[in-house]
Amino acid sequence: MGFFSRHRSAENAKERLQLVLIHDRTDLSPGQLEALKDDLLKAISGYIDIDPQAVQIRLERDGRSQRLVADIPLRSVSRRRAG
Amino acid sequence: MTAQIITVTSGKGGVGKTTAVANLATALAADGRKVVCIDGDIGLRNLDVVMGLENRIVYDIVDVIEGRCKLRQAMIRDKHYPELYLIPAAQTRDKNAVSASDMKRICNEIKPDADFILIDSPAGIERGFRNAIAPADRVLVITNPEVSAVRDADRVVGILEAEEKGNPSLILNRLNPALVRNNDMLSAEDVLDLLGIHLIGIVPEDEAVIIGSNRGAPVVTDARSRAGQAFRNIAKRLQGEEVPFMDLYSQGGFWGALQKWTRRK
Ligand SMILES: Nc1ncnc2c1ncn2[C@@H]1O[C@H](COP(=O)(O)OP(=O)(O)O)[C@@H](O)[C@H]1O
Ligand SMILES: [Mg+2]
C-alpha cells in the first residue's frame, strides 16, 4: 500500500456506500443487475439493431429514490444499408 | 397539553441513541418542558445509568404492562428537573413482554400531561425497534460518519418509509472535525447526500460525553462542552426554534484565536 492510499479514505467510504446503498435499497445484487442487463439486451435486440458494446445500463440515485437508466444508441437503417 | 412522541433509533448499536435521549430530554427539561423518557431497550437497560437514576428504580415498564404497579409509580423523577421522568426498561424479562400496542397505550396515558415523550430504541430492526417506533409522531435516526453505521441508518430510513412513519430527521453523532478536514472521515454533507433525509443536528466527538456518562450527568449540563451545545441546539429545534448549525471546523488554540482575530473586521 503506497503512501497516498492511506489517506483520503473518506472518498473511499463514500464511493463504497453509494454502491452498497443502491443494492440494499433495490434488493438487487450486483450479479442480478448483470443478469438483468443481459436479459434487457436480448429483449431489445429482438426488435431493433443495437450495438451491445455501446449500451449503458446502470442504477442511479436521486435523493432517496433509485432509477434504472439505460442509454441504448440505435443503429440507423440508412447506415446499415450503406455499411 | 398533548405530548409530541419522539423515538431515537439507529439500526446499528453503540452509535449514541441512549446518549441522545438522555441529553435531549435533559435539555428540553432545562427549557421548562415536561418530559417523559421511556427506555425501550428491554433486557439491556441503560438510560437509567446515563441519566444517573439507577438507584431510584422500583418498578419498570413491564411491571406497568403486567399490572403490578400504576404508570405513575414506574415514572422516576429526575434529580435536578422536577418535570423530567424516566420509565425504565425491564432488565430481566423476556423481550416479548412488551408489544407495540402496550407502547401506544402507555404513551396515550402520558400524552395529556407532558410536552415530550422520548423513546430510546434498542439496536436492530426487530420487535424492540418496532415497539419503539409504533407510537412515534416523529423519528430521529442517529448515525456516526462510518460506513456500517450509515448503511444501517439507511435500512432504518427505508423501513420507516415503508411503514409511512413520516419523514425522519438525522442526528449525525461523533463527527471528528480534524478527521473530516484530513479527508479521513465522511463529512456531514457526504452523509446527508447518501441518506437523503432532513438533518436536525451534528454532534461532535467529545470526551465530555464519556465523563458525563461516568457521573450520570448528561453532557448538556456542561456549559462548555461542544457536544452539549449541539444537543441543546437540537432540543431547541425540536421545540420549533430555528437555530443555526455550529461551526465545528473553526480551530481552537492559538491558531484558532489568531484566525478569529484576523477574520474580525
Ligand atoms: N458525541 C460523542 N462523543 C464521544 N462519545 C460518545 C458520543 N456519543 C456517544 N458516545 C459514547 O458512545 C458509546 C455508545 O453510546 P450509546 O448512547 O450507549 O449508544 P447506543 O444507545 O446507540 O447503543 C457510549 O460509551 C457513549 O458515551
Ligand atoms: Mg442504548
The string of pLDDT tens digits covering residues B188-200 is 999 999 999 999 9
User: What is the CATH classification number for the domain harbouring B100?
Assistant: 3.40.50.300
A20/B157 CB distance under 8 A: no
Whether B264 shows a pLDDT value over 50: the answer reads no
Residue A61 pLDDT grade (very low, low, confident, very high; cuts 50, 70, 90): confident
Show the beta-strand stretches assigned E in chain A.
56-62, 65-71
Q: How far apart are CA B5 and CA B115, in angstroms?
A: 9
B186/A10 CB distance under 8 A: yes
Rounded to the nearest 5 degrees, what angle is found at the Cα of B22, between the Cα atoms of B16 and B26?
140
B147/A17 CB distance under 8 A: yes
Residue linked to cell 443536528: B201
CB atoms near residue B73 (< 10 Å): 12
Average pLDDT, chain B: 94
Q: Tell me if B232 sits within 8 A of B27, measured CB to CB.
A: yes
Identity of the residue in B184, B194, B196 whose CB atom sits nearest the CB atom of A7: B184
Q: How far apart are CA B265 and CA B248, in angstroms?
A: 21
Averaged pLDDT for residues B208-235: 97
Shortest-distance ligand to the CA of residue B14: 1
Q: How far apart are CA B227 and CA B38, in angstroms?
A: 22
Overall number of domains in chain B? 1
Q: Is A20 on the interface with B (CB under 8 A)?
A: yes
Q: What is the structure's pLDDT at B249?
A: 82
Nearest residue (by CA) to ligand 1, atom 20, is B14
Residues B6-60 pLDDT 10s:
999 999 999 999 999 999 999 999 999 999 999 999 999 999 999 999 999 999 9
Averaged pLDDT for residues B212-236: 97
CA distances from B108 to A12, B33, B170 (A): 46, 18, 25
Whether B265 shows a pLDDT value over 50: the answer reads no
Which residues constitute the domain of residue B68? Answer: 4-264
C-alpha cell at B249: 471546523
Q: Which residue has the higher pLDDT, B184 or A49?
A: B184
Residue B252 pLDDT grade (very low, low, confident, very high; cuts 50, 70, 90): low
Contacts of B201 (CB under 8 A, 6+ apart): B171, B172, B230, B231, B233, B234, B237, B245
Q: What is the structure's pLDDT at A82?
A: 53
Contacts of B55 (CB under 8 A, 6+ apart): none
Residue B76 pLDDT grade (very low, low, confident, very high; cuts 50, 70, 90): very high
Q: What is the structure's pLDDT at B261?
A: 53
Residues B112-169 pLDDT 10s:
999 999 999 999 999 999 999 999 999 999 999 999 999 999 999 999 999 999 899 9
Q: What is the structure's pLDDT at A80?
A: 55
- Closest ligand 1 atom to residue B207 Cα is 4
Whether B107 shows a pLDDT value over 70: the answer reads yes
Q: Which residues of B touch A61 (CB under 8 A)?
A: 196
Nearest residue (by CA) to ligand 1, atom 15, is B16
Q: How far apart are CA B26 and CA B157, in angstroms?
A: 26
DSSP codes joined into one string, B108-153: HHHGGG-SEEEEEPPSSSSHHHHHHHTT-SEEEEEE-SSHHHHHHH
Whether B202 shows a pLDDT value over 60: the answer reads yes
Averaged pLDDT for residues A27-54: 89
Residue B78 pLDDT grade (very low, low, confident, very high; cuts 50, 70, 90): very high
Q: What is the structure's pLDDT at B256?
A: 52
Residue A58 pLDDT grade (very low, low, confident, very high; cuts 50, 70, 90): confident
C-alpha cell at B70: 400504576
Q: At what angle do helices B188-195 and B147-162 cross, to 10 degrees?
A: 40
This prediction has a pTM of: 0.90
Q: Which residue has the higher pLDDT, A31 or B86?
A: B86
Q: In the structure, which protein residues have their CB atom closer than 6 angstroms to any atom of ligand 1?
A: B 10, 13-19, 173-174, 203, 205-206, 209-210, 213, 227
C-alpha cell at B61: 415498564
Q: What is the DSSP letter of B51?
A: T
CA B126 from centre of chain? 19
Q: What is the structure's pLDDT at B86?
A: 98
ipTM: 0.86
Show the beta-strand stretches assigned E in chain B.
4-9, 35-39, 76-77, 84-87, 116-120, 138-143, 169-175, 198-204
Whether B257 shows a pLDDT value over 70: the answer reads no
Whether A81 shows a pLDDT value over 60: the answer reads no
Q: How far apart are CA B9 and CA B7, in angstroms?
A: 6
C-alpha cell at B199: 438533518
State what percent of residues in chain B have pLDDT above 90. 90
Rg (CA), chain B: 18
Backbone phi, psi, residue B204, to 5°: -75, 155
Averaged pLDDT for residues B194-221: 97
Is residue B97 classed as helix, strand or coil in its secondary structure?
helix
